[in-house]
């Protein structure tokens, strides 16, 4: 029986662990950082870059893999809706429904509710929200877990991998998120360009049950509480940094954006920040080391982790040679 170590248990690590070949013994190493990007993310699975009106890279197959992997009890039944404020935006949405790559994701137009300053809402087909913290808590119960940080990782003459000079594994898959310490140690520069974002937890007079987007997302949490965000900022140069503290400028950016189309009165309850494992070319990093047998990588998923992780973890294991 093969022993596999998964280093990191965010959305990438959970996919790599759950989709490991049948018969493998999986051991997860995760330090349990509560502010990791997966833990603070809203968990939206969205095949469209709504700001630019284009389909996400490999959107169709990624969406199919996401629907297969995530248990229904952790997924919303409601899709994402784009707020369309002008007649031109409404017409463009209808015209793009014939686009060969984008059209299949552009759903029907519905009337905007009274608390939205807009003409119509455009439904994003196939989109949903994964309750990511609850999902990760559930998934973690299925594996042996170690909260010890991986401070030593080396390959033995036998080809096996030794972690912390105490446990041997046939394969190690690095899913470290933005820190990427061991991935960059073994692969070198992977082209990370980490970004940080800030979101708000708000309470409003409009108890919306819809997931709405116009520049930023407004996602319901129930009882008039919503998640608003998030911002997108470059400038995180190294993976060992903690997320920056909440910034008043980002708070005002989010509130200004929401107030341009949302009629409800908004009270800010708290703010959060996180660092995304983004790459310069906006492409994930996954696969097996070309020289070190049994060393795998799944990282750099950025803000699309919930969408792409199931597909790329499947491809990772399909290409494994052990």
Q: Kindly report the pTM of this predicted structure.
A: 0.95
Coil, helix or strand at residue 136: helix
| Same domain for 281 and 268 | no
Distance between CA 154 and CA 95 in Å, rounded? 55
The CATH number for 36's domain is: 3.50.50.60
Does residue 91 fall inside a structural domain? no
Give the other-Cβ count within 10 Å of 241's Cβ.
13
Q: What is the pLDDT along the chain (322 residues), one digit of tens a residue?
A: 699 999 999 999 999 999 999 999 999 999 876 556 787 788 999 999 999 999 999 999 999 999 999 999 999 999 999 999 999 999 999 999 999 999 999 999 999 999 999 999 999 999 999 999 999 999 999 999 999 999 999 999 999 999 999 999 999 999 999 989 999 999 999 999 988 899 999 999 887 899 999 999 999 998 889 999 999 888 777 777 777 889 999 999 999 999 999 998 999 999 999 889 999 999 999 999 999 999 999 999 999 999 999 999 999 999 998 7
Do 184 and 263 touch, CB atoms closer than 8 A? no
Is 29 in the same domain as 139? yes
Q: How many domains does the chain have?
A: 2
| 253 assigned to some structural domain | yes
Q: Determine contact, residues 200/268, Cβ cutoff 8 Å.
A: yes
Q: Does a structural domain hold residue 59? A: no
At which residue do the structure tokens 């119509």 appear? Answer: 120
User: Does residue 313 form part of some domain?
Assistant: yes
- 238 and 135 in a single domain? The answer is no
Q: Sign (positive/negative) of CA torsion 307, 278, 11, 133?
A: negative
User: How far out from the chain centre does Cα 98 lie?
Assistant: 28
Is residue 282 domain-shared with residue 259, that is, in the same domain?
no
288 shares a domain with 262: no
Check whether residue 263 and residue 205 sit in a common domain: yes
Same domain, 188 and 282: yes
pLDDT in tens, 196-241: 899 999 999 887 899 999 999 999 998 889 999 999 888 777 777 7
Q: Collapsing DSSP states into helix, strand and coil, what is residue 100?
A: coil
Give kind and range of the element (H or E) at residue 196.
strand 194-204
228: containing domain: 193-276
User: How far, in Å, are 31, 84, 191 from residue 280 at the CA level?
Assistant: 26, 31, 6
């Amino acid at each position: 029986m093969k022993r596999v170590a998964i280093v990191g248990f965010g959305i990438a690590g959970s996919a790599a662990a759950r989709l490991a070949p049948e018969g493998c013994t999986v051991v997860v190493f995760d330090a349990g950082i509560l502010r990791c990007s997966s833990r603070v993310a809203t968990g939206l699975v969205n095949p469209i870059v709504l700001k630019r009106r284009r389909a996400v890279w490999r959107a169709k197959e990624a969406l199919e893999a996401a629907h297969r992997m995530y248990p229904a009890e952790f997924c919303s039944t409601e899709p994402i809706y784009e707020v369309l404020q002008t007649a031109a935006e409404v017409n463009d949405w209808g015209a793009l429904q014939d686009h060969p790559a984008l059209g299949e994701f552009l759903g029907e137009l519905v009337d905007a509710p009274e608390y939205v300053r807009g003409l119509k809402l455009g439904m994003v087909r196939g989109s949903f929200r994964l309750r990511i913290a609850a999902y990760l808590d559930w998934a973690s119960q299925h594996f042996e877990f170690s909260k010890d940080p991986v401070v030593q990782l080396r390959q033995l003459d036998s080809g096996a991998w030794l972690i912390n000079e105490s446990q041997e594994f046939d394969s190690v898959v690095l899913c470290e998120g933005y820190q990427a310490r061991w991935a960059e140690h073994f692969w070198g520069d992977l082209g990370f360009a980490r970004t940080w974002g800030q979101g708000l937890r708000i309470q409003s007079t409009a108890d919306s049950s819809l997931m709405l987007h116009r520049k930023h997302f407004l996602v319901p949490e129930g009882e008039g509480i919503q998640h608003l965000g998030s911002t997108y900022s470059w400038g995180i140069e190294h993976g060992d940094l903690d997320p920056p503290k909440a910034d008043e400028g980002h708070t005002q950016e989010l509130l200004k954006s929401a107030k341009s189309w949302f009629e409800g009165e908004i009270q800010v309850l708290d703010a959060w920040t996180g660092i995304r494992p983004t790459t310069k070319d906006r492409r994930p990093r996954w696969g097996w080391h070309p020289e070190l047998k049994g060393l795998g990588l799944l990282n750099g998923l950025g803000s699309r982790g919930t969408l792409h992780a199931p597909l790329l973890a499947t491809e990772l294991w399909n290409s494994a040679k052990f």
